[in-house]
Amino acid sequence: MRRILIRILLTILTLQAFVVSAKAYSIKLEIQGLPDQYVYLAQYHGFYIHTLDSVKSKDGIVEFKGTNNLPRGIYYLYIYTKEKDRWTRGEKLFDFHFANNKTPLILSTDIEDPLNHLTVSGDETSKSFNEAQKKIQLYRTQLEEKSIYLSYGIHSGKDTLGLKKEIDSINSLYLNFLHHEMKRQKKGDFLYNLYKMTYAAQKSDCNPLVELDLSNPDILNTPEYSFRRFIEKYCEKNIDAYADDIMTATTFAEHIVLKTAPKSELRAHILDHLVVNYLYDYSPDPRLEYVACHLFEQYYKEKPQWLSDYDYTVLKWRYNNTKSNIIGMKGKDIVLPDQNGQDRSLYELKSKYKILVFWDSECEVCIEKVSHIQADYNELKSMGAEVFAVYTEAEYDQWKQYVADNELGWINVSDPESVGTYDVDYGTFKSPRMYLLDENNIIIAKDFESAKIIETITQYEHGK
C-alpha cells in the first residue's frame, strides 16, 4: 500500500527546471449547482501534481484560457469545500483529457455527481477518455473498498476466501477493460500508452521490464494509477525483490534510467524517485540504500539542472550521511571515552556480534530502546553479542548519572570534546539509531526494532 497511495515526496523533488508554463488553453466548464467560488486546474505530472490556474466561477460557469500551448495529458479540476464558515479541504471534481489547443474543450456536469454526469465536447479523444474514466474510477473504487475491508481481518476463513474471489473477479474485469481500451487506440499514442501502463501496473504477474516504453515524455502527464504506479511496480518487481542480491537490484535500477534520454525530464523524474525512495525512509529494505548511493555517484556528482542549490545540498548531505554505513560495508571505528574517562574502541571489542546504539538520555524513544536492550542483555551476551552505546548529546554529567542509576553494564561512551566523526560515519542526524555488526565490523543490519534484536541475530544466523 505504501507505493499505491498518492504521496508528495520531499522538497528536493520539485524538479523546478521542468515545471510547465501552462497558460495556453481554452477549457470551458459548466457545473450546475456550483456556488460562486474558485475552481482550480491541476496537472498530473510524473510523481507530482501541479496546480496551474484558478478562476472564480459565476453562475456555475468557469473558463480557463491562455495564449501558449498546454501539453497533452490528464488534468483535473478541484474546489475547496466550506465547513463552518471556513474553506477547509480540496475536493477533486473529475479527471479529464486535454489534447487539442486549437479547439475549446467544453466540460458540462453538475455538482452532485461531477464525474458520472460529465459530458465532453470539442475533442473526440477527450470524449473517449471521459467514458473510460468513469469505468476506471468504478473499478478502482470497488477494488479499494474490498481490499480495505479484507485488511480488517475480522471475517471468518470462508468470508476471507469470498472477498478474495470478489477482488480477483473485479480485477479481472478491470484488466479486460483496460486491454480493450488499449486495443481501441493507435499503438504508441498517448491514450494507448496510458492504458498499457495502467494494465501492466495492475496485472499481478506482469513484469514491467517487458512492457517498458519510456520514449514518449507525455506519459508523465498521467494519473497516479498509470505512470507513477507503473514505475513503482517496476521497483517492486526488479529492485525491491532483489535486496538480497544488491548488484542485480542496482543493474535493474540502471536499466530503467538508461531507457530514458540523457538530460530528459523523464530521466529526472525516475532518478529522483529512485534516489529519494531508497535513500530516505520509504525503502522496504535498508540494504537498498546501496542502490541510491550508486545512482547518486553516477548522476549527481555535479548538481543536475532540475534541482535548486538548496535541494541539491540537502540531497548531498543525506548521501554523505549514508554512504559509509550501508549494510554489507565495514563500519568505521569509534574511539571515545567511557564514563570513567578511559578510551574505548568499537574495533577492539571482541565479540561475535556488536550492537551499536546512538542515543540520548532525554529522548523517550531512546530510553525505551535502551530498556529493551537491557531486558535482553543477558541472553544477548549468551549469543555472543555485546553493546557499544554512544551518547550523542552534550550533557555529560547527566549521561554519567543515568548510566550509573540504571546500571547499564555494557560499554558506554560519549564525546564531550566533540572530536568524533560518528555523526557522518553512522548518520546520527536522527536518534536513536541502532546497528548490528559482526566480529569483523561488517554492518549486518540497521534501524531494526530494539525489541527484536534477538530475532534479528537469529535470522542472520539462519540466513548465512
Is 129 part of any domain?
A: no
Is 4 part of any domain?
A: no
Dist. CA 25–CA 103, nearest whole Å: 9
pLDDT at 143: 94
Most confident of 59-68, 96-105, 128-137, 202-211: 128-137
pLDDT at 162: 85
Contact 119, 108 (CB under 8 A): yes
Confidence band, pLDDT 50/70/90 cuts, at residue 62 = very high
pLDDT tens readout for residues 442-460: 999 999 888 889 999 999 9
pLDDT at 393: 87
Q: Are residues 172 and 311 in the same domain?
A: yes
CATH, residue 380:
3.40.30.10
Confidence band, pLDDT 50/70/90 cuts, at residue 33 = very high
**Summary mean pLDDT of the chain:** 89
Q: What angle do CA 12, 17, 19 make, to 5 degrees?
A: 90
Q: Name the percent of the chain lying above pLDDT 70.
A: 92
Domain of residue 25 covers: 11-122
Contact 433, 440 (CB under 8 A): no
Confidence band, pLDDT 50/70/90 cuts, at residue 87 = low
pTM of the model: 0.86
Confidence band, pLDDT 50/70/90 cuts, at residue 362 = confident
Is 141 part of any domain?
A: yes
Supply φ then ψ for residue 428, to 5 degrees: -90, 30
Confidence band, pLDDT 50/70/90 cuts, at residue 396 = confident
Total number of domains in the chain: 3
Residue 281: how many other CB atoms lie within 10 Å: 8
Confidence band, pLDDT 50/70/90 cuts, at residue 158 = low
Is 132 part of any domain?
A: no
Dist. CA 40–CA 397, nearest whole Å: 57
Q: Is 47 helix (H, G, I), strand (E, B) or coil?
A: coil
Confidence band, pLDDT 50/70/90 cuts, at residue 283 = confident
Is 192 part of any domain?
A: yes
Q: What angle do CA 369, 358, 457 make, to 5 degrees?
A: 60
Q: Are residues 221 and 348 in the same domain?
A: no
pLDDT at 324: 97
Q: Are residues 449 and 340 in the same domain?
A: yes
Confidence band, pLDDT 50/70/90 cuts, at residue 282 = confident
Q: Are residues 146 and 38 in the same domain?
A: no
Is 327 part of any domain?
A: no
Is 71 part of any domain?
A: yes
Bridge partners of 354, per DSSP, are 386, 437
Q: Encode 62-74: b = buried (16+ Cβ within 10 Å), e = exposed.
A: bebebeeebbbbb
- Residue given cell 479481472 in the structure block: 172
Q: Are residues 343 and 241 in the same domain?
A: no
- When pLDDT is averaged across residues 258-264 and rounded to a whole number, the result is 91
Contact 40, 91 (CB under 8 A): no
Confidence band, pLDDT 50/70/90 cuts, at residue 159 = confident
Q: Is 85 helix (H, G, I), strand (E, B) or coil?
A: coil
Q: Kindly list the distances between the CA atom of residue 232 and the CA atoms of 207, 281, 381, in Å, as whole numbers in the listed order.
A: 12, 16, 42
Is the pLDDT confidence value at 328 over 90? yes
Residues contacting 89, CB < 8 A, separation 6+: 80, 81, 83
Q: Are residues 150 and 296 in the same domain?
A: yes
Dist. CA 196–CA 213, nearest whole Å: 10
How large is the angle between the packed helices 364-382 and 453-463, nearest 10 degrees?
50
Mark which of 295, 320, 345 sits at the end of a domain: 320
| Helix %, strand %, coil % of the chain (to 5) | 45, 20, 35
Q: Are residues 157 and 277 in the same domain?
A: yes
Bridge partners of 75, per DSSP, are 43, 96
Is the pLDDT confidence value at 81 over 80? no
Q: Encode 377-412: b = buried (16+ Cβ within 10 Å), e = exposed.
A: beebeeeebbbbbbbbbeeeeebbebbeeeebebbb
Bridge partners of 77, per DSSP, are 41, 94
Q: Is 107 helix (H, G, I), strand (E, B) or coil?
A: strand
Is the pLDDT confidence value at 6 over 50? no
**Cell for 381?**
551476551
Q: Are residues 141 and 118 in the same domain?
A: no
Q: Are residues 101 and 202 in the same domain?
A: no
Residue 21 one-letter amino acid: S
Confidence band, pLDDT 50/70/90 cuts, at residue 358 = very high
Q: Are residues 172 and 306 in the same domain?
A: yes
- When pLDDT is averaged across residues 39-46 and rounded to a whole number, the result is 95
Contact 103, 122 (CB under 8 A): yes
Residues contacting 209, CB < 8 A, separation 6+: 234, 237, 238, 252, 255
Contacts 24+ apart (CB under 8 A), 192-195: 193/218, 193/219, 194/74, 194/219, 194/222, 194/226, 195/132
Is 3 part of any domain?
A: no
Distance of CA 174 to the CA centre of its chain: 25
Torsion angle of C-alpha atoms 183, 189, 191, 194, degrees rounded to 10:
100
Bridge partners of 390, per DSSP, are 358, 413
Mark which of 291, 320, 349 sits at the end of a domain: 320
Q: Is 158 helix (H, G, I), strand (E, B) or coil?
A: helix
pLDDT at 437: 98
Q: Are residues 70 and 38 in the same domain?
A: yes
**Cell for 159?**
468470508
Mark which of 290, 320, 350 sits at the end of a domain: 320
CATH, residue 56:
2.60.40.180
Dist. CA 292–CA 243, nearest whole Å: 12
Dist. CA 345–CA 158, nearest whole Å: 58
Contact 412, 377 (CB under 8 A): no
Higher pLDDT, 14 or 313: 313
- When pLDDT is averaged across residues 320-324 and rounded to a whole number, the result is 96
Q: Are residues 171 and 106 in the same domain?
A: no
